[in-house]
Structure 1
Amino acid sequence: MKLLWSIMVLLIILLQFRLWVGEGSFAQVWGLEEAITEQRAENTDLAVRNERLFAEVQNLRGQQGALEERARMNLGLIRDNETFFLVVEP
């Protein structure tokens, strides 16, 4: 009878060990849940960035003035018969 009880206690200890430390344990589940939370936050930030970029692309595709403004500001382009003045402050 003592042998049976010893075997049962040993099995319970082994099962508890696996529950707390082994593969699929509580610690591993908690770590994965934390990683999922962090990834969702990052995905939200990236989704907002993608929406801004998509709106900018739509603006550049749909309006000729927006494309021209971008070229003037970033590339310093001017039209024919225009004079470029560079104002330098002291």
Structure 2
Amino acid sequence: MKPLRVLLLLLALLLGLLQYKLWFGNGGQREVEAMRARVAGQEAENLKLQQRNEALKAEVENLKSGEAAVEERARSELGMVKPGETFYRVIEDGKAPPAAPAPVPPQ
């Protein structure tokens, strides 16, 4: 009867060791959950980047296919105007530019 108890004790210790490794050891449940969270975060970031890439691709196609997009970009980013047009710049910061000093009348 004594060898049976020793065998049961060894099996219980082995089971305890395996359970410890499963829950707390290298590659255990905690690491698996942490890795799942990292994967979910990376998938969300990938989705945002994919949407950004699609928007950029659409913008490139628009610039390649039409003159209106190129013209609009040249006007807004480079400040270009067509011949015969007058360019006006509107300043919206609320500060008026300093006025030129009034000419002094001759004495």
1:84 pairs, out of 81, 84, 87, with 87
Bigger Cα Rg: 2
Select which of 67, 75, 80 maps to 2:70.
67
1:1-90 matches, within 5 Å, as 1=3, 2-87=5-90
For structure 1, which runs of at least 5 residues remain unmatched after alignment?
Answer: none
- Secondary structure, counterpart of 1:3 in structure 2: helix
Bigger RCO of structures 1 and 2 (CA < 8 A, at least 6 apart): 1
Q: Tell me the distance in 1 between the aligned counterparts of 2:48 and 2:34.
A: 22
TM-score, length-scaled by structure 1? 0.85
| Cα separation, 2, equivalents of 1:44 and 1:88 | 38
Query: What's the offset of the Cα at 1:64?
Result: 1.4
> Per-residue displacement from partner, 1:27-57 (whole Å, max 9, x unpaired)?
1111111111111111111111111111001
Single out whichever of 26-35 and 3-12 deviates more from structure 2: 3-12
Cα 1:9/1:66, change in 2 over 3 Å: same
Q: Which runs of 5+ in 2 are unaligned?
A: 97-107
Number of residues of Structure 1 aligned to a counterpart in Structure 2: 90
Question: If the length of structure 2 is used for normalisation, what is the TM-score?
Answer: 0.73
Partner secondary structure for residue 17 of structure 1: helix
